[in-house]
Amino acid sequence: MTIESVPFFRPSVGDSEIDQVATVLRSGWLTTGPRVRQFEEEFAAAVGARHAVAVNSCTAALHLAVEALQLPAGAGVLTPTMTFAATGEVIRYMGAIPILVDCDPVTLNMDLTDAERKMASLRGGRLPPTISADTPIVGIIPVHVGGLLMDMHGLQSWARREGMWIVEDAAHAFPAASRSGKGAPWRRCGEATAAVSCFSFYANKTITTGEGGMAVTDQEPLAGWNCARPTSFRG
């Protein structure tokens, strides 16, 4: 087998999926119709979130999440060194500054210990050239690599102490779950694990719509943020 013949991914698409797409095409609802609403409601239930908003990609979900949280220009946001470009670029869309945090060599996820070191360095005046001493650090965007969840229990406790919001890049993480220890209850990714958790339905994900993404949140003002904005959260 040549390299060229190895498929990027083989999605599981059968007659049922094809029939559902044909039904949508015949309905005339090609964007935000009843099937989109059904998908949002069922996805929210699947991850244990109160609200879900379908968008055209996980990148769009991340972008709209930081807009809804009113990320100010010039502020800093912690993000891992190893991730897809979107994690950092949505911060730059807002004129804010990505502050890179090293990743654990075993899990490949953001290293919380290094995040603590970065914050201590900033407070100690050891500043990278992109930020100044008065740069506020307002948020953190963890990424779950390959479906292995970062310790969100520890991260949430730390973020609360630091006064930071969390936007979760969960592009790899449906339908993953974690727990704080043996015997503790399982918590699904998206089940109050962040202010907004952002999922991907790209062709190589666990479920796919070809393209597509979803933002989930328990905070109604964030889910309804599009209603008062000229650019819709619904794409």
Cβ atoms within 10 Å, residue 188:
19
Hey, what are 207's tokens?
Answer: 């479920």
Distance of CA 133 to CAs 5, 117, 125, 127, 227, Å? Answer: 52, 16, 7, 7, 36
> In angstroms, what CA-CA distances link 219 with 49, 51, 56, 196, 215?
9, 8, 21, 8, 11
Q: How many other CB atoms are found less than 10 A from the CB of residue 223?
A: 22
CA neighbours closer than 13 Å in the CB half-sphere of residue 22: 6
Fold of 44-228: Aspartate Aminotransferase; domain 2 (3.40.640)
For the chain, what are the domain ranges? Answer: 44-228
**Is 182 marked active-site?**
no
Confidence band of 163 (pLDDT split at 50, 70, 90): very high
Sign, CA dihedral 189-62-112-76, equals: negative
Q: What is the pTM of this model?
A: 0.88
CA distance linking residue 169 with residue 66, whole number of Å: 12
For residue 228, the model assigns a pLDDT of: 43
Q: Are strands 51-55 and 213-217 parallel, antiparallel or unpaired?
A: antiparallel
* Active-site option among 54, 205, 216, 223: 205
Q: How many other CB atoms are found less than 10 A from the CB of residue 84? A: 15
Strand-strand pairing, 137-140 and 165-169: parallel
Lowest-pLDDT range of 5-19, 170-184, 198-212: 5-19
| pLDDT at 221 exceeding the cut of 70 | yes
Strands 177-178 and 165-169, bridge-based pairing: unpaired
**pLDDT tens-digit profile of 65-83?**
999 999 999 999 999 999 9
Q: Please state, in angstroms and rounded to a whole number, the distance separating the CA atoms of residues 166 and 172.
A: 17
User: What's the pLDDT band for 21 if we cut at 50, 70, 90?
Assistant: confident
